[in-house]
Each structure stands twice: as structure tokens, then as C-alpha cells.
Amino acid sequence: MSPAPSPANSRAREAFAAAFGHAPDGVAFAPGRVNLIGDHVDYNDGLVLPMPLALGTAVAWRRSDGPDFTARAADYHGEAYRFDPSAPPPAGDGWHSLVHGMAALMREVAALDGGLDLLIAGNLPRGAGLSSSASLCIAVGRAILAASQTAPLAAQPLAQVAQAVEHRFAGVACGIMDQMAIAAGTPGAAMLLDCRSLAWQEVTLPPEWSVLVLQSGVERELVDGAYNTRRQECESAARKLGVASLRDVNPAGFDPAPLGPAEARRARHVVFEIDRTRRAAAAIAAGDIALLGTLLREAHASMRDLFEASHPEVDRQVAMINDWIGAEGGARMTGGGFGGAIVAILPAPRADSLARELTAQGYAEAMRVFN
Ligand code: GLA
């Protein structure tokens, strides 16, 4: 059964009619995602455990005459961006570059005759580590596919086009986790994704657990530069260890001797985080919330101390939430880091009181993404 349409779809449809003066031909949607565990391992060929969200990006579309696209974003006061998809996209991680970049690269996989009017409306918080940019790219890709009436594209090539947009136009050397989770996943179902083979399997959480996403309120800054530097450190560590990627290092045999101090910390994070992700998927399958909680805490400490991609305020909030949860479950910062969102997994009957407690203390409203 397909999930109910997102409220973002009706917003996009209505805003399209208001902006362009007629109804759209269709609306495409792509969710955001939260990563339960396994951060900064996707570009090291590792294992990740993301879960698509019900929130995401809707793109209302209608075919137009001529080659040009006109895109408007409801969240930016309907500002219009008109472009020829065969012209080079502007550089940068703003929505213009992502939408134009997607339209340019989709030309290689979808034969669209003419242009498109697009209206973008989303309900994902931006800069919160919930993948609003991959969500935008995949939604635009789906709109182009629907408009071009080409045979549906499988999740993997669509995800790879969206990743190429980030690399070539946004300047972010990201991995493939976000795009694969968004293109292939089902909201509310976690997926264990092997970022080397791109094979994945659904991991069903016990219905008596809840997954909450909490906004730390710490805005991420200078993220792209720091992200790309981390990736370079990991690749350099792999070369010095004589492996194709850090995925190939067995945690039991990890010997950081050839590495500089920073590289050694980054590599240790990646090697053990991949192992934790594998163990977390097993803990979920076994219904062992205490073990899962321990792994979430270890993962947070590793992002903080070894990968150095956390933030003191987020560390404080994660520690407070972990104290509140106790042994049955746990919390960690999720996504690229340097601020953003916190994910917490705990017994469902306690989730409401945690959410209430945090709101009473002045934190943003918690989002229940599972149960
Ligand atoms: C960002 C990137 C992903 C991944 C995460 C960290 O979301 O887009 O590819 O590297 O950070 O796990």
C-alpha cells in the first residue's frame, strides 16, 4: 500500500496554481531521512542505517513550450528561477544550483521534449541534518521522469544522478546514503545499506519502540569545507593503510601506526562505526534496546572525540537526553554533524513524556518518525 500523500503535495499543488495560473500536470514527492547509526562511513564504502521520513519535498510540475524551465520555491516567497537545462548550472549549494543541476544531468537519462514549470514546496527543516538537499534533488528527478514519460528509473541510477549534482555543482563530496535512502526507502522503515555494493535490506523496528528526531537548534556552519576535509583524511588514511577504502580494515586488526594523529582518529571512527552499524542492525532484529542504546552512545562519543564533527551544545543535549532515557535506548547526533538534529530511540510508552519534557524546557517540538 502506498503511503498517504504528504501535506507538502497539496501545498505544492495550490502554490503552483497561484503562481502559474493553472493546475499542474502532476506532483512528485521525495522524503527526507534520519540516519539511525553509521555516520561518515558511506563515502568509505561502509554500512549505514537510515530511515526515510514522512516529511520531504514536493514538486508540482507541468510541461511548457520551449526548452526553458521555470522553477519557483514556495519557501522563498515564490521567487522564480528561469533556466535552460542545457546551459551550465550555477555553482553553490542553493536551490537554484540543485534544481538546475538535476535538470541538466537528467537529460542523460530522460528524454524530455520541451520545458517544465516547477513549484517546490517542502516541510523538512533545512540545515538540520535531515537531507533536505537530496530530497529536493530526488523530487525534481521524479518530476522530470513523470513529465518525460520515460520508463521509471530504478532507485540506484536516480540516486547516483542526485549525488553527481552535489559533487559537480554544490561542491559537496557527499556519499550515497542520503540519495539511496530517499530514492529506495519507505518512510518509517529503516534500511541497512551497503554503500559499496548498494545492496540494502529493510530492518523492521519492534513496534514497541519509538524513534524521535529532535532539533538541537545549532545551525550548521562552514559544513561543506569541513565535510570535504574529513573525506580527504579518510581517503588518505586508506591509502596509507594499503586498502581500497576504510571498509576493508578489520576492527580487530586496526593498526594506526602509519597514520598521522588526526587521520588515525578519523580512521578509528570509521572502522568501528561500520562495525557498530552492523551490530545495531542485529540488536534491532533481536529486540535488544539496551544494546542498541549502548551503540548509539558509543557512536555519538566517536563522532565527538574521534571524528570531531559534533558541537558542544549538541553534546550537552545528547548527554541530557541519554541521562533521561537511561539504559533502555539512547540518543546521538545524526547526519553530517557540526550541529543539526539528534535521533533518540526509546520504548514507545516513554516517548511522549520525553517530548513533553523537552518542550517544557524550551526545546523545539520533537518529531516522532516511528511510532
Ligand atoms: C551527509 C552526506 C552523507 C553522509 C552524512 C554523514 O548527510 O550527504 O553522504 O556522509 O553526511 O553520514
178 and 75 in one domain? yes
pLDDT of residue 223: 65
DSSP labels, 266-299: HHHHHHHHHHHHHHHHHHHHTT-HHHHHHHHHHH
Quick check: 3 pLDDT over 70? no
Q: Could you say which DSSP state residue 260 is in?
A: -
> If you average pLDDT over residues 53-74, what whole number do you get?
96
Q: Are 331 and 342 in contact (CB under 8 A)?
A: yes
For residue 39, the CA-to-ligand 1 centroid distance in Å is 7
What is the rounded distance in angstroms from the CA atom of residue 53 to the CA atom of residue 275?
Answer: 25
209 and 186 in one domain? no
% pLDDT > 90, the chain = 88
Instruction: Give a yes or no: residue 285 inside a domain.
Output: yes
253 and 190 in one domain? no
Q: Which atom belonging to ligand 1 lies closest to the Cα atom of 134?
A: 8
pTM of the predicted model as reported, rounded to 2 decimal places: 0.96
Q: Which atom belonging to ligand 1 lies closest to the Cα atom of 177?
A: 9
Name the pLDDT band for 84 (thresholds 50, 70, 90). very high
Quick check: 78 pLDDT over 80? no
Q: Give the CATH number of the domain where residue 344 resides.
A: 3.30.70.890
For residue 336, the CA-to-ligand 1 centroid distance in Å is 5
189 and 209 in one domain? no
Name the pLDDT band for 225 (thresholds 50, 70, 90). confident
Q: Give the CATH number of the domain where residue 107 resides.
A: 3.30.230.10
Residues in the chain: 371
pLDDT of residue 1: 42
pLDDT of residue 2: 55
Q: Does ligand 1 lie within 6 Å of residue 351's CB atom?
A: no
361 and 228 in one domain? yes
Residue nearest to atom 10 of ligand 1 (CA): 40
Q: What is the pLDDT of residues 226-256, one digit of tens each?
A: 999 999 999 999 999 999 999 999 999 999 9
Q: What is the pLDDT of residues 269-318, one digit of tens each?
A: 999 999 999 999 999 999 999 999 999 999 999 999 999 999 999 999 99
Residue 71 exposed, middle or buried by CB count within 10 Å (0-12, 13-18, 19+): buried
Q: What is the pLDDT of residues 163-194, one digit of tens each?
A: 999 999 999 999 999 999 999 998 889 999 99
pLDDT of residue 195: 98
Q: Are 117 and 98 in contact (CB under 8 A)?
A: no
Residue nearest to atom 11 of ligand 1 (CA): 336
User: Which triple of cell numbers denotes residue 12?
Assistant: 505544492
Query: Which of these ranges, 2-6, 28-32, 90-94, 115-119, has the smallest mean pLDDT?
Result: 2-6
99 and 17 in one domain? yes
Q: What is the pLDDT of residues 27-49, one digit of tens each?
A: 999 999 999 999 999 999 999 99
211 and 188 in one domain? no
Q: Which residue of 130, 177, 231 sits with most ligand 1 atoms within 8 Å of its CB, as the best mutation to test the pocket? A: 177
Quick check: 126 pLDDT over 90? no
| Structural domain that includes position 93 | 7-194
Quick check: 329 pLDDT over 80? yes
Query: Which of these ranges, 21-35, 80-94, 133-147, has the smallest mean pLDDT?
Result: 80-94
165 and 262 in one domain? no
Name the pLDDT band for 143 (thresholds 50, 70, 90). very high
Geometric angle at alpha carbon 334, from 276 and 286, rounded to 5°: 40
Q: Could you say which DSSP state residue 64 is in?
A: E
pLDDT of residue 150: 78
pLDDT of residue 219: 81
312 and 224 in one domain? yes
Of the three residues 151, 173, 194, the one that is the final residue of a domain is: 194
For residue 42, the CA-to-ligand 1 centroid distance in Å is 7
Kindly give, in sequence order, each residue whose CB lies less than 8 Å from that of residue 49, ignoring residues fewer than 6 positions away: 35, 36, 37, 38, 190, 191, 192, 193, 203, 277, 280, 281
Q: Does ligand 1 lie within 6 Å of residue 34's CB atom?
A: no
Q: Which of 68, 178, 248, 323 is catalytic?
A: 178
318 and 247 in one domain? yes
Task: Verify whether residue 75 is a known catalytic residue.
Answer: no
Instruction: Give a yes or no: residue 240 inside a domain.
Output: yes
What is the rounded distance in angstroms from the CA atom of residue 281 to the CA atom of residue 203?
Answer: 7
> If you average pLDDT over residues 141-165, what whole number do you get?
93
Of the three residues 194, 223, 247, the one that is the final residue of a domain is: 194
| Number of domains into which the chain is organized | 2
Give me the chain's average pLDDT, please: 94
